[in-house]
Amino acid sequence: MTAEAGSDRQDIKSTGRSLVNRVVIILLFGVITGIAASFVALGFVDIIDWLADELIGKRSRSHPGFNLVLLLIPVAGGLLVGLLIRLTSDRTPDNVASLIFRAQIRARPFSLRDGAINALAAIAGMASGASVGIYGPVAALGATLASHLSRFCRIDITTAIGSGVAAAISTAFSAPIAGILFAHEVILRHYSLRAFAPITVASCTGFFISNYLLERPPLFQVEATRSLFAPEYFAFVVIGIAGALIATLLMKSIITASRIARQSNVPVWLRPSVAGLGVGLMVQWLPDTVGVGTDLISTTVHHDIFSLPLLTAMLLGKIVLTALCIGFGYVGGVFSPALVVGVLSGAIMGQLGLSFFTGLSSGLAFYSVCGMLAVTSPVIGGPLTAILIVFELTRNYELTTAVMISVAFSNLVAYRLFGRSLFDRQLASQGIDLSLGRDKVMLQRTAISRYVTTDAVTVKGSQRLIEAQRAMVEAGRQECYVLDELSRFVGKLRLSDIVSIPANVNVHQAIASDYASLDTLVFDHELSVWHALEQMREFVGESIAIIDQRNYFIGVIYQSTLVTAYLQTTENVRAEEHAAY
């Protein structure tokens, strides 16, 4: 055997061992994440269901009319939410928007301590009737657990967040494919080969536990008793357009409520209790609109028991209550409220459609489900996820086809009226724009201070120009930076500008005279790479001075360095999206 053949065989063995190790790590991480996220998610849901029934459900059923206890419970729950959030590190709840942002910049979600506090705050709010989503906190819990499990594996944080979210969503909806797609479509915002295997394993594990091990029922089921009729396809287009309008109303209401809350003089920790007062009043009038709304979804889909005026009142009440609760700081998502708002709007359209099509109709359930996803998909920015949730839950091709039509037109219209999703608008209000891709977000979060160098020619204002010229020639530079006696930045001189100036003129005189041009472009050391690149569009020169807030000179940054940083970031993002390992 030649030495070359022996080396090739050794390389094959090494590659094989590396591949086996990687497969084992992915399997272990995916399975453990799926188990942890699924049990936590199911426990979270069960606790909220039990407490909500004990605190709100039984009282509203047994004591119709005005009830002071039902008024005070949501207020107390909101106060508890506010006090709990004050105990977290940054005093803000984790939500889907923050998960999306953290996945883009590869930042870890909350610590286990903050995650536990947020979970308790979510339980306190939803158990006392808050109209917020249960799936946002479930996704945040899954992402937090997975991110900490990834410390023991060679799993990057972006993949870990996606895996935890996929496992939680798969468990909650009994829809593993939708869980995988939700992680990629909504959270990661790209389809990564590297992330696909761990996310798939975690999602399938969560589904196995909820569907086979614990035999949990799905959120809703629809049986196809009749076929679709041709004229109904136009109705599903109308439902999609109407769903876009209602989704836009819901999202704008939430944005408006958030702005009112910020502009009010109410302390942050007290705001949820203000929303709790609204919940307490609403439960006296429309008790079905408070809380997560899972029972209302099931009842609306399966039973035609609500009149058209009552459906309309519940629809408007749910929108107002959801905007109030989310805008004023309750911990929770928008997925569940959007499902409720959507199913109510679909039922309204269904009742109108049934009277129009008379005997040629597929039934109210089809219209309710189409309306539900027509509203939800533009809110979360996940049209494919919405379609797959319906297909996995119902195994109904005809219903899925109808939903596809409604979702397609809903997202088309809602994007024009509002944007991609509520999460994008929430991030945009914080100065985070995801529309141009992950590389821009990462460059926006990277300060130029990490690329600053002191490799530059500096002179004092009292020095003669001949000294400045000599220093630039010896260093091979075309520019020098002028500092005062305290090392504060004064200006920049170019060699080409001062070669014709008399040598006995000092630097300060050259700057004050018409002999030299003064370059005034300077950067603060906290400026981001992205904004630095934007400001350098018309820049001509070697480097730019970097100063602090007191105008002290820190160093310089070269144009080539910023271009290299941009290219490296872009290459890293593409490598993550396309690399298999």
At 172-206, the pLDDT tens digits run: 888 899 899 999 888 888 777 778 889 999 999 99
Residue 303: strand pairing partners: none
Lowest mean pLDDT among 6-20, 136-150, 449-463, 550-564: 6-20
pLDDT at 7 over 80: no
Residue ranges per structural domain of the chain = 17-213, 232-433, 443-569
Band of pLDDT at residue 230, cut at 50, 70 and 90: low
What is residue 362's predicted lDDT score, i.e. its pLDDT? 65
Neighbours of 402 (CB within 10 A): 25
Please give the pLDDT value at position 325. 93
Domain 443-569 classified CATH 3.10.580.10?
A: yes
Does the pTM surpass 0.85? The reply is no
Percent of the chain scored above 90 by pLDDT?
25
Task: Please count the other Cβ atoms lying within 10 Å of the Cβ belonging to residue 249.
Answer: 18
Picking from 179, 161, 177, 320, the residue whose alpha carbon sits closest to that of residue 254 is 320
CATH 1.10.10.10 given to domain 232-433: no
- Write down the residue that tokens 């709304």 correspond to: 293
Q: Is the pLDDT of residue 16 over 80?
A: no
3-class DSSP assignment, residue 69: helix
* Eight-class DSSP state of 482: E
Taking residues 235-253, report their average pLDDT: 94
What is the spatial distance between Cα 322 and Cα 337, in angstroms, rounded to a whole number?
A: 7
Q: Mean pLDDT for the chain?
A: 84
Domains 17-213 and 443-569 share a fold: no
Mean pLDDT of 291-308: 83
SS (H, E, C) 517-557: CCCCCEEECCCEHHHHHHHCCCCCCCEEEEECCCCEEEEEE
Element (H, E) at 558: strand 553-558
Q: Among residues of the chain, what percentage have pLDDT more than 70?
A: 88
Residue 572 has pLDDT above 60, yes or no: yes
Model confidence at 152, in pLDDT bands (50, 70, 90)?
A: confident
pLDDT tens per residue, range 428-464: 888 777 776 777 888 888 888 889 988 888 888 778 8
pLDDT band at 89 (very low <50, low <70, confident <90, very high): confident
Superfamily of domain 17-213: Clc chloride channel (1.10.3080.10)
**CB-count burial class (<10 Å; 0-12, 13-18, 19+) for 561:** middle
Does residue 252 register a pLDDT over 90? yes
338 has pLDDT over 90: yes
Cα 472 to Cα 477: distance, rounded to the nearest angstrom: 5
Contact 282, 74 (CB under 8 A): no
Buried b (16+ CB within 10 A) or exposed e, 504-531: ebbbbbbbeeebbeebeebbbbebbbbe
Residue 498 predicted with pLDDT over 80: no
- In angstroms, the CA 522 to CA 52 distance is 58
Q: State the average pLDDT over residues 505-517.
A: 65
The Cβ-side half-sphere exposure at 15, using a 13 Å CA radius, reads: 6
What is the crossing angle of helices 364-380 and 397-417, to 10°? 40
Backbone region of residue 541 per phi and psi (left: phi > 0; alpha: psi in -120 to 50; beta: other values) = left
The pLDDT, as a whole number, for residue 414 is 94
CA distance 57 to 72: 14
**Residue 203 exposed, middle or buried by CB count within 10 Å (0-12, 13-18, 19+):** buried
Please tell me whether residue 239 adopts helix, strand or coil conformation. helix
Q: Which helix (H) or strand (E) holds 57?
A: none
pLDDT at 359 over 60: no
